[in-house]
Chain A
Amino acid sequence: MLLELDKAGIRFGGLRAVQDLELKVAPGALYGLIGPNGAGKTTVFNLITGIYAPSEGDIRLSGASIVGKGPVAVARAGIARTFQNIRLFGGLSVLENVTVAMFRHQDATLMEAVFRAPRYAREEAEATAAALELLTTFGLAHVAHLGAEELPYGLRRRLEIARALATRPRLLLLDEPAAGMNPSEADELMHLIRWTRDTFSVTILLIEHHMPVVMGICERIAVLDHGARIAEGTPAEIRNDPVVIEAYLGAEVHA
Chain B
Amino acid sequence: MKSPLFGYALVVLGIAAVWGIDQFVIPWTDAYLTNVLLRIGFNVIAVTGLALVLGFTGQFSLGHAGFMALGAYGAASLSLHLNVPPVLAVPLGGLIAGLAGLVVGVPSLRLSGDYLAVVTLGFNQIIIVVVQNTPFLGGALGLTGVPVATSFGWTFTWVLLAVVFMRNLLKSSHGRAFAAVRDNEIATRSLGVDTTRIKVTAFVVGAFWAGAAGALLGFYNSSIFPKQFEFDRSIELLAMVVLGGTASLSGPILAAIVLTALPEFLRVLGGWLIKACAPLVAAGLLDAPPEFLGRLSQYRMVIYSLVLIGMMITRPKGFLGGRELGDVLVGAWRRVRPSPA
User: A109: nearest residue on chain B (CB-CB)?
Assistant: B174
Is A19 close to B, CB under 8 A? Answer: no
Q: Could you list some 15 contacts between A and B, CB below 8 A?
A: A75-B189, A75-B191, A83-B187, A87-B187, A89-B187, A90-B184, A91-B179, A91-B183, A92-B183, A99-B173, A100-B173, A110-B169, A117-B4, A124-B1, A164-B191
If A99-B173, A110-B174 touch, does A163 touch B191 (CB 8 Å cutoff)?
Answer: yes
Of A70, A88, A114, the contact of B187 (CB 8 Å cutoff): A88
CA distance A120 to B174 in the complex (A): 11
Q: Which residues from B are CB-within-8-Å of A87?
A: 184, 186-187, 190
Contacts from B to A (Cβ < 8 Å): 1, 4, 7, 165, 168-169, 172-177, 179-180, 182-184, 186-195, 201, 205, 247, 322
User: B204: nearest residue on chain A (CB-CB)?
Assistant: A110
User: A123: nearest residue on chain B (CB-CB)?
Assistant: B173
Tell me how far the C-beta of A80 lies from the nearest C-beta in chain B, rounded to whole angstroms.
Answer: 7
Q: Which residues from A are CB-within-8-Å of B168?
A: 113-116
Quick check: A103 and B191 within 8 Å, CB to CB?
A: yes
Q: Which residues from A are CB-within-8-Å of B179?
A: 89, 91-92, 96, 100
Quick check: A89 and B184 within 8 Å, CB to CB?
A: yes
CA distance A181 to B299 in the complex (A): 56
Is A71 close to B, CB under 8 A? Answer: yes
Quick check: A120 and B184 within 8 Å, CB to CB?
A: no
CA distance A100 to B172 in the complex (A): 10
- Total interface residues on A, CB under 8 Å, equals 39
User: A160: nearest residue on chain B (CB-CB)?
Assistant: B187
Q: Which residues from B are CB-within-8-Å of A83?
A: 186-187, 190
Tell me how far the C-beta of A82 lies from the nearest C-beta in chain B, rounded to whole angstroms.
Answer: 9
CA distance A106 to B176 in the complex (A): 12
Q: Which residues from A are CB-within-8-Å of B201?
A: 110
Q: Which residues from B are CB-within-8-Å of A76?
A: 192
Is A179 close to B, CB under 8 A? Answer: no
CA distance A81 to B188 in the complex (A): 11
Quick check: A92 and B176 within 8 Å, CB to CB?
A: yes
Considering only residues 92-130 of chain A, those with a C-beta below 8 Å from chain B are 92, 96, 99-101, 103-104, 106, 108, 110, 113-117, 120-121, 123-125, 127
Of A51, A72, A100, A120, the contact of B176 (CB 8 Å cutoff): A100
Tell me how far the C-beta of B321 lies from the nearest C-beta in chain A, rounded to whole angstroms.
Answer: 10
If A72-B194, A100-B180 touch, does A124 touch B189 (CB 8 Å cutoff)?
Answer: no
Quick check: B193 and A104 within 8 Å, CB to CB?
A: yes
User: B2: nearest residue on chain A (CB-CB)?
Assistant: A116
Quick check: A116 and B4 within 8 Å, CB to CB?
A: yes
CA distance A100 to B194 in the complex (A): 12
Interface residues of B, dominant DSSP: helix
If A49-B190, A103-B191, A163-B191 touch, does A113 touch B173 (CB 8 Å cutoff)?
Answer: yes
Is A167 close to B, CB under 8 A? Answer: yes
Of A72, A90, A116, A127, the contact of B192 (CB 8 Å cutoff): A72
If A91-B247, A108-B173, A113-B169 touch, does A101 touch B4 (CB 8 Å cutoff)?
Answer: no
If A106-B173, A110-B174 touch, does A88 touch B189 (CB 8 Å cutoff)?
Answer: no
Interface centre among B169, B182, B187 (most CB of A within 10 A): B187
Q: Which residues from A are CB-within-8-Å of B184?
A: 87-90
Quick check: B190 and A89 within 8 Å, CB to CB?
A: no
User: B189: nearest residue on chain A (CB-CB)?
Assistant: A71
User: B6: nearest residue on chain A (CB-CB)?
Assistant: A116
Quick check: A75 and B183 within 8 Å, CB to CB?
A: no
CA distance A76 to B177 in the complex (A): 16
Q: 8 closest Cβ contacts across the A-B interface?
A: A75-B192, A116-B4, A113-B172, A87-B187, A89-B183, A71-B189, A100-B176, A76-B192
Q: Which residues from B are CB-within-8-Å of A81?
A: 190
Q: Which residues from A are CB-within-8-Å of B195?
A: 72
CA distance A124 to B173 in the complex (A): 7
User: A173: nearest residue on chain B (CB-CB)?
Assistant: B190
Q: Which residues from A are CB-within-8-Å of B169?
A: 110, 113-114
CA distance A51 to B99 in the complex (A): 31
CA distance A104 to B195 in the complex (A): 11
Q: Which residues from A are CB-within-8-Å of B177?
A: 100, 103
Q: Which residues from A are CB-within-8-Å of B186?
A: 51, 71, 83, 87
Quick check: B247 and A100 within 8 Å, CB to CB?
A: no
If A96-B176, A103-B173, A110-B174 touch, does A116 touch B190 (CB 8 Å cutoff)?
Answer: no
CA distance A113 to B176 in the complex (A): 12
